[in-house]
Amino acid sequence: MEECERRTRKWDGDGQQVMEGGDGASYPRWYLTIWFHDECIFYAHDHHVLCWVHSSETSKPYAKGEGQSLMIANFISADYGWLSSADGNESVHVKLKPGKNHHGYFSNDELLMQVEKAAHLVHKLYPNDDHVFIFDNAHSHSKHAEDALSAHYLSKGTSKPTDGKPIGVHIPMGDACFADGHSQPLYFPPGHPTHPGLFKGMVCTGFKCQKNSNGEYGPWCCQCILFNEPDFANVPSLLSTLCTKNNIPAIFLPNFSPELNPIEQCWGYAKQIYCEFPPSSAINDVIKNAQKALASVPLECIQKLWNRSLHYEDSWTSHHYHSHRALPPEATKEMISELIEHTR
């Protein structure tokens, strides 16, 4: 993130861009635009319960429960606001009614389609900028390909032939990699005389997983050894692979760190406006009011929230490391640990 900040545009408290270096020598040749992604749910009964009324009005009961819901997923940046064209005809925001009885849930497939569209749109609308996509650590963001390497699903011994019995659909894993870069197939070739297409197994001849004094397998277990191998430990997710394919780096925020994602505060700003609309249980009103609320978030507010996120880590580290010119390697880890403690 520190390397990204050097190439991003910066703004002061009034929303004016800060031009660093009066002679222009320090201007980056290509500005870097950081796009934050997130999802938010708007509920039909999200409205202010306490409000000022005329003395002649009587009390009126309000609907219980959350009512109908609408999920919106979108990208935002401090440079341009929500990711869309100037006329609004091209955008990447996704709207769906969550739940198994409606549109389902925002899965990895929908996310990949949205990111693919967003990558093409940022290159089309802002070709003179470099771009970075930042995501939170949701479970759907870390999904791997079906044939990705995984030591967890590898069997210890060689697979046995099925003797012609029907089996379910089996997707073999991709090849592993030796230290010198050569590929290592995990399955026997289809034309093998005794084990055609079967898994070779993790254990070499004569190897035995040893247990410690507590009866548990230690780090010398064959599965633990494979877990730490680079080709097993560094398997990219589908999301990272897609971003790399479109020449856009992907950065994933640590768990329990909404302070580092300014779109979280933008959702809160939009919901404050959304709560001021007259409550309605109709889904069409929910969609209309949510879109109005999101469009009401000013760009100056987004820039202030962006500055706030950038300064959060600086303020935390200056409080905990008063005399350090260079932060120790464990500074970020300690900050995240403190964030986790505050959420419990």
Domain enclosing residue 250, as ranges: 2-144+236-343
pLDDT of residue 340: 46
- 242 in the same domain as 229: no
Residues 240 and 230 in one domain: no
Last residue of a domain, one of 235, 270, 288: 235
Number of domains the chain is built from: 2
Quick one: pLDDT at residue 17?
A: 76
Tell whether 57 and 122 lie within a shared domain.
Answer: yes
Mark whether 137 and 76 lie in a shared domain: yes
Measuring CA to CA, which residue among 271, 260, 261 is closest to residue 294?
A: 271
Nearest to 141 by CA among 230, 50, 238: 238
Residues 139 and 50 reside in one and the same domain? yes
What is 192-250 written as a DSSP string?
Answer: -SSSTT-B--SPPTT----B-TTS-B-TTSHHHHHHTSHHHHTPPPHHHHHHHHTT--E
Instruction: Tell me: do 9 and 108 sit in the same domain.
Output: yes
307 lies in the same domain as 268: yes
Query: Which residue is it, tokens 């970075």?
Result: 132
Q: What is the pLDDT of residue 120?
A: 96
Same domain, 172 and 229: yes
Q: How far apart are CA 342 and CA 255, in angstroms?
A: 12
Same domain flag for 250 and 230: no
Same domain, 129 and 40: yes
Q: Is residue 335 a contact partner of residue 319, using CB atoms and an 8 Å limit?
A: no
Which CATH number does the domain housing residue 47 bear?
3.30.420.10
Q: How high is the pLDDT of residue 305?
A: 87
Identify whether the C-beta of residue 156 lies closer than 8 Å to the C-beta of residue 222.
yes
Positions of the chain with pLDDT under 50: 21-25, 166, 168, 323-325, 327, 336, 339-340, 342-344
Segment 132-161, tens digit of pLDDT: 999 988 888 888 888 787 777 776 666 666
pLDDT of the residue at 25: 46
pLDDT for the residue numbered 103: 75
**Can you give the pLDDT at residue 341?**
54
Q: pTM score > 0.85 for this model? A: no
User: Roughly how many angstroms between the first and final C-alpha of the chain, as a whole number?
Assistant: 27
Q: Tell me: do 27 and 12 sit in the same domain.
A: yes
Of the three residues 235, 264, 284, the one that is the final residue of a domain is 235
Q: Contact, 292 vs 277, CB < 8 A?
A: yes
Of 235, 255, 283, the domain-final residue: 235
Give yes or no: residues 14 and 109 share one domain. Answer: yes
Q: What is the pLDDT of residue 339?
A: 47
